[in-house]
Amino acid sequence: MRDAHLSDRATPLDMTPEEFADVGHRLVDDLAELLGSLRERPLGPDVTPEEVRAALDAAASIPEEGTEAGKLMRDTTRMLVEYSLYNMHPRFFGYITAGAAPIGVLADLLASGTNPNNGGWALSPMASEIEAQATRWIAELVGFPGGGDGVLTSGGNVANMIGFYAARAAKAGWDVRADGLKSEEASVLRLYASGSTHTWVQKAADLSGLGTSAIRWIETDAVERMNMPALQAAIEKDLDDGHRPFMVVGTCGSVSTGAVDDLPAIRDLCDTYDLWMHVDGAYGAFAACLPNAPDELRAVALADSLALDPHKWMYTTLEAGCVLVRDPSALLAAFSYQPEYYYFQQEAKNYFERGIQNSRGFRALKVWMQLKQAGRAGYVRMITEDIELAQRFYDIAVARPEFEAFGTALSITTYRYVPEDLRSRAAEVEVATYLNELNEGIQARMEKGGEAFVSHAVLGDVYALRMCVVNFRSTLADVEALADITAKLGGALDRQLRPEGLRPVVDVEGPHA
Ligand SMILES: *Cc1c(COP(=O)(O)O)cnc(C)c1O
């Protein structure tokens, strides 16, 4: 029969249920072993891009024939286990990257296993409702007003951009979605953000067509908070010059130092000048859940739109961002179109109308399951302990003579290694330059060594090391180890790198002369 292959398709991607179970159980066993052995493993491989490409056989052509699923999974698992950097390692303190919660890893498998399309409710009945509940729970967790709207995104960048587009649609003053930037008025739209705002704001201004010169960069004070008189002066000046201010971006937890802007004062100015208040709380907003959170953190609730990153302080796997808006119609007003080729009749949320994506995965499941597994109390405890660990590390850095501690905010502590004999000379240009080189070297060595991982912050002219705890696996012993590792690498590197002119003066006569 000519069409036999169509009647009984033996397709190369299908697996029998037994095969799927075998391969899957083996994978889960391997991942369990990985999670169980994290502490004994180096944080990452000490390899060059060439070595990684060689292990992958990166230049190989597309395979003509397929590979048996079990072998493929075993080989791939082995390759990834060997060549990954483990941000879930208890001594990973870099950037703001959380160590994936195990339940979230399994949730991702379950999400893929059921594969709903969270773009439309009809395509994802339970999954869409779970996303609605998860975003509402995040709002409850951080005290954001109920009755608004929200959507999960790939991360903080897109969450912030959605806030930006909501602001633009709400406050531009003309039909910016239809008329775009052709309008005379377009060239005068202005937004305000502090110099320590994350780079998403440039991408948003650029991609929207406004251009980055529409951003008014407001100076910050010594602790990276937006200078409020300068903000007001900039708004006033733009109004005088015939420009149209439309939004202010406040930051709750700056990337470098965890600084929180004066959000209540930003709210007041936004009310005075009829501007949209957006808060980038990608990292810091979650700390608003603490019962003893200061008012400045709780003020995330004042925003018109608030971006937060579950893949930071909610400890989910990548990717999961979230944006919440106070006005329940704000996302639809910025993104909704209703094309004739969709047939979504239910009285329910269709997420394709609430953001940039159309087809959407079920990232909500891991967020929701983690909130269920840990509960509010569990999150309060983990976030509290992360902050305590960063503060303990700060205390250690203050106490140890070979460290200079710069500050601690939220769960970030900045510090650097300073050889004791150079301590009193740190302001000299040559010494300052050397200390920057030394600390950059420590960071690079640490990354290669795989014992711990920190990133850096540029504080004025100082290259500081920066540790950030968004890691429920880290313990006091791990932050103590970080101090020892920094000191060990610093001492060794100092002996190697110290320029002649900065060497301690050696008493050639010796002590008995
Ligand atoms: C991480 C971060 C972002 C960017 O978020 P992604 O999830 O990396 O896209 C934006 N703003 C702040 C304050 C952040 O910490």
Distance CA 451, CA 476 (A): 15
Q: Is 157 in the pocket of ligand 1 (CB under 6 A)?
A: yes
Cα(492) to centroid of ligand 1, in Å?
34
Beta bridge partners of 480: none
Above 90 in pLDDT, residue 110?
yes
Ligand 1 atom nearest to CA at 253: 13
Tell me what pLDDT residue 8 has.
85
Q: At what angle are helices 69-82 and 17-36 packed, to 10 degrees?
A: 10
Provide mean pLDDT across the span 463-468. Answer: 98
Assign 341 a pLDDT band (cuts: 50, 70, 90). confident
pLDDT in tens, 345-384: 778 899 999 999 999 999 999 999 999 999 999 999 999 9
Q: What is the pLDDT of residues 141-152, one digit of tens each?
A: 999 999 999 999
Residue 455's pLDDT band, with cuts at 50, 70 and 90, is very high
Cα distance between residue 275 and residue 267, in whole Å: 9
* Binding site membership of 165 for ligand 1 (Cβ less than 6 Å): no
97 lines ligand 1 (CB under 6 A): no
Contacts of 358 (CB under 8 A, 6+ apart): 119, 352
Which of 207, 209, 175, 210 has its CA nearest to residue 189? 210
In a domain, 94, yes or no: no
Do 246 and 168 form a contact (C-beta atoms < 8 A)?
yes
Among the three residues 294, 327, 361, which one is the final residue of a domain in this structure? Answer: 361
252 lines ligand 1 (CB under 6 A): no
Q: Report the sign of the C-alpha dihedral through residues 114, 119, 124, 128, in that order.
A: positive
Verify that 393 and 423 share a domain, yes or no: yes
Looking at the structure, do residues 321 and 455 belong to the same domain, yes or no?
Answer: no
| Stretch 324-330: mean pLDDT | 97
Single-letter amino acid code for the residue at 323 = V
- Are 226 and 338 within one domain? yes
Task: Tell me how many degrees the CA angle 20-26-31 measures, rounded to the nearest 5.
Answer: 120
- Beta partners for 324? 150, 306
How far is 251 from 420, CA to CA, in rounded Å?
Answer: 36
If DSSP codes are grouped into helix, strand and coil, which group holds residue 227? coil
Is residue 482 within 8 Å of residue 393, measured between CB atoms? yes
Three-class SS state of 279: strand
pLDDT for residue 7 = 87
Give the Å distance between the CA of 97 and the centre of ligand 1.
Answer: 10
Q: Closest Cα partner for 483 from 408, 384, 404, 423?
A: 404
How many folded domains does the chain comprise? 2
CA 39 – CA 150 distance, rounded (Å) = 37
**pLDDT by residue (tens digit) across 133-184?**
999 999 999 999 999 999 999 999 999 999 999 999 999 988 999 988 876 6
Q: Is residue 413 classed as helix, strand or coil in its secondary structure?
A: strand
Domain end (from 335, 361, 387): 361
Distance 261 CA to ligand 1 centre (A): 16
Instruction: Please compute, for residue 21, the number of CA atoms within 13 A of its CA located in the half-sphere on the CB side.
Output: 3
pLDDT recorded at residue 513: 41
Q: What is the mean pLDDT of the chain?
A: 94
Which of the listed residues 302, 334, 361 is the one where a domain comes to its end?
361
Compute, in angstroms, the gap from residue 446 CA to the centroid of ligand 1: 24
Q: Which is the closest atom of ligand 1 to the Cα of 155?
A: 7
| Among protein residues, the one whose CA lies closest to atom 4 of ligand 1 | 156
How far from chain centre, in Å, is Cα 98?
Answer: 8
* pLDDT, tens only, 414-447: 999 999 999 999 999 999 999 999 999 999 999 9
Domain match, 404 and 354 both: no
Give the strand pairing for 321-325 and 149-153.
antiparallel
Does 321 contact ligand 1 (Cβ within 6 A)?
yes
So what's the pLDDT on residue 5?
A: 85
Are residues 322 and 433 part of one domain? no
Sign of CA dihedral 179, 183, 186, 187: positive
Do 236 and 158 lie in one domain? The reply is yes
315-220-249-283 Cα dihedral, nearest 10 degrees? 0
Residue 284 lies in a domain: yes
In this prediction, residue 508 carries a pLDDT of 58
Q: Which atom of ligand 1 is nearest to the CA of 281?
A: 13
Considering the domain architecture, whether residues 386 and 419 belong to the same structural domain is answered as yes
Same domain, 382 and 354: no
* Full domain range(s) for residue 426: 378-502
Pairing, β 453-459 against β 92-93: parallel
Residue 343 in this model has a pLDDT that exceeds 80? no
Which of 280, 308, 466 is the pocket-test mutation for ligand 1 (most atoms within 8 Å of CB)?
280
**Which residue has 């208040």 as its token pair?**
277
Q: Which two tokens stand for residue 31?
A: 């991942």
Q: pLDDT above 90 covers what percent of the chain? A: 89
Judge whether 53 lies within some domain. no
Confidence of residue 344 (pLDDT cuts 50, 70, 90): confident
Residue 449 pLDDT exceeds 60? yes
Decide: 279 in ligand 1 pocket, CB within 6 A: no
Strand 453-459 and strand 403-409: pairing?
unpaired
> What pLDDT does residue 187 have?
75
End-to-end, the C-alpha distance of the chain in Å comes to: 106
Is the Cβ atom of 282 under 6 angstroms away from ligand 1? Answer: yes
| Type of residue found at 145 | P
CB 389 within 8 A of CB 469: yes
At a CB cut-off of 8 Å and minimum separation 6, what does 243 contact? 188, 189, 190
What's the CA gap between 411 and 313, in Å, rounded?
A: 10
pLDDT band, very low/low/confident/very high, at 1 (cuts 50, 70, 90): low
Ligand 1, pocket-test mutation among 96, 152, 194, 198, most atoms within 8 A of CB: 198
| Dist. CA 134 → ligand 1 center (Å) | 20
- For residue 473, give the CATH number of its domain: 3.90.1150.170
With beta carbons less than 8 A apart as the criterion, state whether 395 and 383 touch.
no
Chain segment 229-263, per-residue pLDDT in tens: 999 999 999 999 999 999 999 999 999 889 999 99
Tell me if 272 is assigned to some domain: yes
* Banded pLDDT at 25 (limits 50, 70, 90): very high
156 CA from centroid of ligand 1 (Å): 4
pLDDT of residue 99: 86
Q: Is residue 19 part of a domain?
A: no
CA atoms of 403 and 244, how far apart (whole Å): 48
Does ligand 1 have an atom closer than 6 angstroms to the CB of 306?
no
Domain of 139: which CATH number?
A: 3.40.640.10
Looking at the fold, whether 336 and 402 belong to one and the same domain comes out as no
Spacing, Cα 157 to ligand 1 middle (Å): 6
d(CA 461, CA 439): 13
Query: What is the pLDDT at residue 182?
Result: 74
Whether 238 maps to a domain, the answer reads yes
156 Cβ closer than 6 Å to some ligand 1 atom: yes
Same domain? For 215 and 152 the reply is yes
Q: How many CB atoms lie within 10 A of CB 214?
A: 19
Decide if pLDDT at 198 tops 90. Answer: yes
CA-based Rg of the chain, rounded to a whole angstrom?
Answer: 26
Q: Indicate if 313 and 389 belong to the same structural domain.
A: no
Residues 274 and 315 both lie in one domain: yes
In sign, the C-alpha dihedral spanning 387, 393, 397, 400 is positive
Residue 448 falls inside a structural domain: yes
The reply to whether 17 falls in a domain is no
